[in-house]
């Protein structure tokens, strides 16, 4: 995301002060990861959205914290939940999860431990219905005929 360009606009004294209202998030795109920021001026009645498609193997983009300090928590949350690294962010650390937590829980490749520890019933051990042929075969093998 083009943080340096926005930084020049923010520091330019010939332009009015930039608003501090912004929406920040991550969404799906043609690639796997996309980060977007919607910046809006309520006094000028204008707004714009910037979207950036990120590399799937190592998603990262520039931080906006130097321009919009309020982006700090949004970027930290996006890093914690999705694994997007924000280059130049002063302190990427956990907001919600314990510091020893490994992984990014909102990614689709995050393992669901409940499915690994206890598989869904009926997927591996299917019991035969009473009176079915397979039930009779299992009784014969057990010597119960």
Between 80 and 23, the more confident residue is: 80
- For residue 86, being part of any structural domain is answered with yes
Q: What confidence tens digit (pLDDT) does each residue in 111-139 have? A: 877 656 655 555 655 666 677 666 556 56
- For residue 125, being part of any structural domain is answered with no
Do residues 129 and 135 lie in contact, with contact meaning Cβ atoms separated by under 8 Å? yes
- For residue 131, being part of any structural domain is answered with no
- For residue 20, being part of any structural domain is answered with yes
- For residue 129, being part of any structural domain is answered with no
- For residue 124, being part of any structural domain is answered with no
- For residue 133, being part of any structural domain is answered with no
For residue 38, the enclosing domain spans 3-106
- For residue 142, being part of any structural domain is answered with no
Q: What confidence tens digit (pLDDT) does each residue in 27-74 have? A: 655 677 888 888 888 888 888 888 888 888 899 999 999 988 989 999
**Cα–Cα nearest to 37, from 86, 106, 107:** 86
Q: Which CATH number belongs to the domain containing residue 58 in this structure? A: 3.30.460.80
Between 14 and 30, the more confident residue is: 30
Count of domains for the chain: 1
Going through 74-118 in order, the beta strands assigned E by DSSP cover 85-87
């Amino acid at each position: 995301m083009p943080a340096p360009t926005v930084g020049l606009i923010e520091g330019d004294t010939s332009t009015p002060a930039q608003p501090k209202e912004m929406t920040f998030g991550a969404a799906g795109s043609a690639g796997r990861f996309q980060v977007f920021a919607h910046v809006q001026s309520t006094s000028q009645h204008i707004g714009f959205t910037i979207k950036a498609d990120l590399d799937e193997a190592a998603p990262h983009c520039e931080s906006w914290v130097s321009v919009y300090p309020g982006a700090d928590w949004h970027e930290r949350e996006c890093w914690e939940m999705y694994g997007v690294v924000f280059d130049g962010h002063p302190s990427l650390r956990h907001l919600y999860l314990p510091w020893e937590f490994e992984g990014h829980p909102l990614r689709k490749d995050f393992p669901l431990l409940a499915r690994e520890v206890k598989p869904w019933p009926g997927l591996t051990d299917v019991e035969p219905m009473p009176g079915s042929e397979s039930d009779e075969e299992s009784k014969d093998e057990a010597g119960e005929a």
